[in-house]
Structure 1
Amino acid sequence: MKRKAYQALSKLGQSVSDSRLAKVPLIEQGYRSAKKRLDPEYIQYEGYTLHIPSYETVAQRISEDGAHEKSVRDAISQNLSPGDTAIDLGAHYGSHTLSMANYVGPGGYVIAFEPYPQAGKYLQRTIDTNSLRQVELVNRAVGNDNSSEAMVANDSSTFRSIDNFSENGTEKIEIDKIKLSAFMDNKEIETVDLMKVDIEGGEGELFEDIHDVIEKFNAIVLEYHNNIVNEESGQFIFRNLEQHGSIETVSGRPIQTLNQFLNCDEHMIWKLG
């Protein structure tokens, strides 16, 4: 009932969006307030219940396209099998975490890192609702040390960045960081079959930490933020990956030069060997 009421209200909002009524402050505020109260805050995805506000871009993409970042989802399906271990860095609300959980099955292990409190709250609810015992949520960011740092959240709810990379935000919170290599040592993880990396500019610190243990990873799906990460860090990441395996875009285009890597505008996948 609540979902149907929300959908009806959304249609009503679309029908008047171009009218003068939409520009009346009280009407606009009342509409936003009603949508928030009626928001069911969940959708069905990968056969699971995904808890997420309907206004989030991820929820809208799933509703419209049936998947969030289909190319990444396909990479997950192609590189994970039952019993495997996967890491989701920058899990956000957990759409890719659910895909990982689906493919590794109850006998596998998925570690989702999400430092942003609101997204982490919804993701934990998703884990509990679906009884995903193979998924562990870590409410921390990864970095090259164990410390705390300010995080910036701007108006786009899908963008979270450390403030030394961006000052273009409206919300600042303190988050805790952890070295992924230390976490893996503590958990006695010797092999990660697939790691997805979408950490909004933190790639440099991540690869500083894991470059000596890169051979513990069989595959890495990487979104490289060339507008945030400095070129020196980009060179370091590329050389480290190139020396230990092959890189291509998720659409199958080989990444063989530094320039191709630094200017890549889609997700990349690296494979060991």
Structure 2
Amino acid sequence: MIVIHFVRFFSISFCAILLLSSCKDEDIASGEPSTISFHHNDGYSSENDGLIKIPIQMDKPQNAETLVHFTISGNAVQADANVEKPDFELLTESPFTIKKGESNAYIEVKILEDSHFEQELENFSIRLDRIVSGNATLHPNLHMLHYSHEIIENDYKLFLEWDAPELIDLNMFIELPNKELISANNDSGFEEVTITNVVDQEQYFVDIWNDGNHPQVSFHLKSLNAGEKEKKTILSGSFSADKNGKNVSEEDENFFLNYLMIKEGQSLKILN
């Protein structure tokens, strides 16, 4: 009889110890719930910025970790095995974790350089939609649960336009900072070229050629940033009949004009 009571006491005590140990390891959340929201609601970055961290905040830390689920949307293309030219890679999976004793967390995103001219501005949005576990609630103001991010493109199109394109032929070449030379595509008499991964203050040289058959002609160099609808004129110039261009090839009597171009802010600018 004594042995039976001892076994029962030992079993109950052992179970109690296991229960206490389990509770200690899992850290049961208690106290007043925390409120979760984004630290700010919008942001932007350039294509070549790489890693960005989007902050999430709790109004007070908890004694246990909190898991928060989120969804992502927008016209920017997320990296995937089936996508050739993605715009961003999501590094933080949903749900993300706010650690015990902390009041901040980050959703990490890597902005990718796709070297592709986009017709529309790219963006993605993140929405916090539910608490998976933990002693917390989402902010009652839905605006505080939404974050929008714009990706600023660094790709441009250049257009060379001139008078009477059906009669006169001009050609345009762009020398890149790495000394690579790219030629424009002749489209209905005008020249067009796309330059990608343009970096602030790096030097580009624009070469405009006239075959000399019509030495007097006015031209306009225009640019279009990815996502924009209207071209901007960044240079208006002309070839003169008396061959007063900046450089004339005596060998073949072609006219040749050369201009230095840089990116300043979000615009291309001719310096000479």
Give the TM-score category using the shorter length: under 0.3
- For CA contacts below 8 A with separation 6 or more, give which structure has more relative contact order: 2
In terms of fraction of residues, the more helix-rich structure is: 1
Question: Of the two, which has the highest radius of gyration?
Answer: 2
TM-score by length of 1: 0.23
